[in-house]
Structure 1
Amino acid sequence: MIPNVLSIAGSDPSGGAGVQADIKAISANGAFAMAAITALTAQNTQGVTGIHPVPPAFVQAQITAIFADIRVDAIKIGMIANAEIAAAVADALQGNSDIPIVLDPVMIAKGGAALLEPEAVDTLRASLLPMATVLTPNLPEAAHLLGMAIATTRDEMAAQGAALCALGAKAALIKGGHLDEPHSPDYLVITEAVTWCDANRADTSNTHGTGCTLSSALAAQLAKGLPRAAATAAAKSYVAQAIAHADALFVGTGHGPTHHFASLYAQ
């Protein structure tokens, strides 16, 4: 049976990030994609020029409608925009602790625009982080959640991963793309078990939406029943392929999208 995955995130009209990327990544990883939209954005490959949050009650209504009718096998949470939406999402998901949840704490767009209001960080940390089967922050996001300096070494990444699990996340995948080294290392912490996932860096500017894509692919793999470590490896392999083939696309003049369906096009 094909699993159903719900993305709770913002919309990117350029198609490279947000629910548009989530739907592509979930579909490419063998699951049926659904989406509850938390915010509309005006953006392209060069940056974000506007954000219009969806009223929290309507965000909750979207999620409630899905659960009233459709089996949900995994959830990905991305951009939540503000504290009120974070609280609405948390309320809507109460009583569904058996469903894997991938929480991607989207705070800053690739071009530098803020996608999460500062006062929402506390609500995200208190209400959503403890629900996470896997938390997937990049280095600036992990540091912001912890109130610490951004990690610059693998040892600091490891320490911050453990600290995030201590806050309640069942596992944390710290994405090390911001590290200044030849590889792009990710660090997966599951209780006391830790795994380094290295990948070669691709020489491309088409990296818009990589965080959305990874977290959605991971949710799809968890929905298919893979354990967290295996699901993480599968998702990371998928994203590496999407980045490696991204130059086949010509979408915009800034940070272009990854190629979500590279394997399909190759056929």
Structure 2
Amino acid sequence: MKPDSNIHHAAADGYPVTADNYVRGRPDYAPELVAWLRDFIGLGPGKTVIDLGAGTGKFTPRLVATGARVVAVEPVAEMRAKLVAAVANVVALEGTAEAIPLPDASVDAVVCAQSFHWFATRAALAEIHRVLKPGGKLGLVWNMRDARVGWVAKLDEIVNRYEGDTPRYYTGKWRSAFPFEGFDPLHEEHFAIGHTGSPEDVIVRRVRSSSFIAVLSDADKARVEEQVRALIDSEPELRGRTELTVPYETAAFSTTKR
């Protein structure tokens, strides 16, 4: 089976054409994750961690910084190429969450940053369980816009109407994969972070980087951008700004293989 034959059509079709937007439009992660990776995931020199669904490598440098050996697993070739070009000292493999190309009990941790909602199935958890050593850690990380801010909620309303059947973190459907025999209950942490840059990068490119936006017709994509730019022009906090900060929240979940 080809690695990309088992992934959602929005990811398989959308990410190859929007990898550049993903690199520039997606935010970094909360600095508190440095301690989280050490204290909850147990990363450090001498450890091996899989960056599962690694994408363009937005989270990968956080893993490299721990001193652990990092193996990135990503099914979309265009995303994987961006990762290889951007991050040194990382092994990048073609694979999926249901078919991780590593032996049984071979890694100390698996981290899924901005990815687990794509493969939140018992089959994926069984495969992750297979490659983890006894006592190994699974970490799930997401960044999401803080919709408690009025203009952010309006932006989400524009974007979300196009999501169709695309899996998303905010729906909470990924949680149905748990509890899972062989893993402890999830431990949850939340951190605040802002994404600062030009409106073109942190808002427009961020919207373009969504897989389900990338697969729209040219007319629909133009309609979305028109609505997004109209929002920017209508909001006092955004209008006329050359630089702004989009508020995000980082959610981090961890569990241990029994």
TM-score relative to the length of structure 1: 0.35
TM-score relative to the length of structure 2: 0.36
* Larger relative contact order (Cα-Cα within 8 Å, sequence gap ≥ 6): 2
Greater CA radius of gyration, 1 or 2? 2
